[in-house]
Amino acid sequence: MTKEKIQITTERVNEFFAQILKLQTSDVMKQYLDFCERVIEHSSFNNTLVFIQKPSCFYYATKSEWKNRFNREIKNFAHPLLILFPFAPVEFVYDLEDTKGEPLPRNFIYWWKEKRGNITKTTLDNLMSLCNELSIKTSISPSKYINQYDHKTFGVALKDKGSNERSIELHPRYENAILLQETVGVLVHEIAHHLLGHLGYFSTFAKIRDKNQEIIIALDNHNCDRGVKELEVELTAWLVFAKLGAKKQSSEYLAGWFTSQGAKEVRINEICKVVDNIYKMSQGERWWIKKAMRIRK
């Protein structure tokens, strides 16, 4: 697929998602979020792309995946769904109802939760450690945080105007280990602000083959409406939690920032990229190094 066609596809995905946001209280929005929880092994963008093509899709996989993992064949005249592979041709995938063969395990819907388990202290440590490697100084702040921010927010993403230093400060309440899952949720929310460009242009450097390679982390998007920013980061956090096998209660928060105009400006394609990158960080993966190596090639 050419870059032009990929751009057109991306624009249409954004347009469709804007319509979903306008219907955020409807069954369509719930159907989309439920679908994303079921298909966490795939990229967030491809999940959105498949949902647009077939909202009723239960679970999708390629022809070879259905055969090798589930011993199922594609039915005659099955309707293929299109997904995109980075730096590779497009791929066809098929919904469960377009396959035949051995029945799926009874607990199929929840197999990924058993595989991944709950959010752990390692999840939090990975995120904080790799944020620091990306030059986002991350900390659970002392009591002075309350003096500055009161209890109106439990986390804040910052960029110093003078030095351009980036940071994330979390409320001191998150020193309490019992609040681990909430801590991760707030941290992911604030990381998303940085990775979505809400604090301005963001790049870093990585040494590849003895040369420093600049990696663009995010283009500048700091002038967008605050409501758009909050919609983007909380959708990001919700989708990251789905990949981690956890449920994030975001509906009331999202509703509070929703406007019809804002829905048009939310960039689902950028959200999907950031979701996958934050998830990789939670697993200890330095995704930006791989990006630098592709650029160097």
136's tokens: 């986002």
What is the full DSSP assignment across 125-168? HHHHHHHHHTTEEEEE--THHHHHHTTS-SEEEEE-TTT--EEE
- Residue-wise pLDDT tens digits, 74-96: 999 899 998 877 655 778 999 98
The predicted structure's pLDDT at residue 94: 94
- Please give the residue that has the higher pLDDT: either 52 or 3: 52
**Cβ pair 70, 100 in contact under 8 A:** no
pLDDT interval class at 235 (50, 70, 90):
confident
pLDDT interval class at 113 (50, 70, 90):
very low
> Is residue 65 classed as helix, strand or coil in its secondary structure?
helix
Rg over alpha carbons for the chain, rounded to the nearest Å, is: 20
What number is the average pLDDT over the span 175-196? 93
141's tokens: 């702040």
What number is the average pLDDT over the span 97-119? 66
The predicted structure's pLDDT at residue 21: 62
Residue 155 reports pLDDT greater than 60? yes
pLDDT interval class at 18 (50, 70, 90):
low
**Cβ pair 29, 51 in contact under 8 A:** no
Read off the DSSP letter of residue 87: T
Read off the DSSP letter of residue 246: -
Amino acid in the structure at residue 20 = I
The predicted structure's pLDDT at residue 110: 46
Burial class (CB in 10 A: 0-12, 13-18, 19+), 56: exposed
Largest Cα span, the chain: 66
Burial class (CB in 10 A: 0-12, 13-18, 19+), 64: exposed
- Residue-wise pLDDT tens digits, 57-73: 888 999 998 999 889 99
Residue 95 bridge partners (DSSP): 60
pLDDT interval class at 111 (50, 70, 90):
very low
The predicted structure's pLDDT at residue 188: 95
Q: Closest by alpha carbon to 238, among 274, 202, 214, 209? A: 274
Residue 104 reports pLDDT greater than 70? yes
pLDDT interval class at 2 (50, 70, 90):
low
- Domain range list for the chain: 3-114, 117-296
What number is the average pLDDT over the span 10-36? 67
- To the nearest whole number, what is the mean pLDDT of the chain? 81
What number is the average pLDDT over the span 35-46? 81
